[in-house]
Amino acid sequence: MILELEKDNLHEIIAANDNVVVQYSAGWCGNCRIMKPKFKKEATTNENITFVIADAEKFPESRKLATVDNLPTFAAFAGGKFKNQVQTNKYNVLKDLIGEVTGN
C-alpha cells in the first residue's frame, strides 16, 4: 500500500501499521522525483509494508519523526518505533532499508 500524506498525521499511520517506510521529499527536489517511481514500485512488491510519501516542507510534525536534513530521506518504522533511515538517491540503498523492515 502506498499513501501520500494529505495532513500532518504520519504518527497515526505509524501507530496503525506494523511496518512503514516513508519517503520525505519536496516538490522542488529533483532527486525526490527520480526516486518516487522506484519507491512506488517497491510498494507493489512488499505488501506487508505501508509506504508513505510525506512532503517534508508541508508537514513539520511528520518530519520530526526522523532526522530530515537532506532530501530525499527514507525512514523505516517497525512496531510503531523508528528503526533506521537513509538519505539517498540510490535504488539499492533504498532496497537495503526496506530489507531491514522485511528481514530480507
Q: Active-site positions?
A: 29, 32
Instruction: Tell me which residue of 42, 54, 48 sits closest to 20, measured CA to CA.
Output: 48
The sign one gets for the Cα dihedral 49, 90, 34, 70 is positive
What 3-state class would DSSP assign to 56? coil
Burial-class residue 47 by CB neighbours within 10 Å (0-12, 13-18, 19+): exposed
CA–CA distance, 13 with 32 (Å, rounded to integer): 21
